[in-house]
Chain A
Amino acid sequence: MADYASVPVQPIAQGLLTIDAAGNPQITGRGFSSVVRGSGLVGDFVLTMDEGTGAADVGSGDGFTIGVIGPNGLDPRFVRIGLTVRGGTVPPGNTDITDRSAAITSVPGEGATQLRVALAVDPATPADPMGFGVPNAHGSGLEIMVWNGNAGPDNAQATIVGPLFQGAMQFP
């Protein structure tokens, strides 16, 4: 019987994107320092990652060597993103947002520092996840989660025996 390995994924940021009464996007949660409209139009948002501390740094050093504490952004190859729409005014709480996508903006030598999120309704029409300060048929906001998908050392280098998650015992 095969064993299947566990994999460490490090939560980096989570937030709830809403639209205020003036039509400006707002982000609450942790890990994002700001959000602005990417193109000045609806359904296009640029989120800037929050600067942390050395102790809490996810650690992707020069050349994106995983596991090294360093003052850098995320390695864009390992960013994992979850997008979920909060329900809107169509009973019992539906949304007509059909397209959710994200892109990663990297700074040379620094890594991924921004996410750009796009939302749309069929047929390919950009849309905000809610109205100006109020829910609408699109929804009542957008949940965003970001992980570093390779937060630990290469599992292939670890000796794994027995049940899932059970590491090998070693004796001197």
Chain B
Amino acid sequence: MTDYAVTPFQPIVQGVVTFDAFDNPVFTGEGVSEIARPAGFPVGAFLLTLDEGLPGNAGAVPPGLSPINDPNVRTMITMRGAGVPPISNITATAVLYLVSPAVGVGADQILVVTRTNPPAPADPVAGFEMIVWRVL
């Protein structure tokens, strides 16, 4: 019979992304200092910049071998639905960790991409929740 280990991972971001009256994304929570739509993608893509100012949070996580293979961070995203029942229009969600061009900084931005069906970028009708962990 065996023992099964625990593993530490540190929450560095928690929040909810919603939209203002002009359909601009708004982040409410902790760990993100800025949210924007990346150029060329008016819907379905959200660029979040990690907050440098939080105690214990460097505003970045160590980069991996490539921008898409960062072993040091994990994210969980849950759509908020609208209506009764609260159905979401989003069928697929992806996340990427973008490395700062400044040498030695690491990944300081998170790109969240959402898609509907038939396949096309789309904003979630009622926003989404997210938690990001730095894994140790």
Contacts and interface: CB of A to CB of B under 8 A. Distances in A.
Contact of B1 (A13, A95, A109, A122): A109
Interface residues of A, number: 50
Contacts of A110: 1-2
A88 B3 CA distance: 36
Nearest to B2: A51
A11 interface: yes
B113 A98 contact: no
Interface in A15-55: 16, 18, 28-31, 49-54
Interface in A49-95: 49-54, 56-58, 71-74, 82, 84-88, 91-95
Contacts, number: 144
A141 interface: yes
A29 B4 contact: no
A136 to B, nearest CB: 11
Given A14-B9, A82-B76, A98-B92, A92 B113 contact: yes
A54 B6 CA distance: 10
A31 B7 contact: yes
Contacts of B38: 92
Interface of A: 10-14, 16, 18, 28-31, 49-54, 56-58, 71-74, 82, 84-88, 91-98, 109-111, 113, 122, 135, 139-141, 143, 145, 148
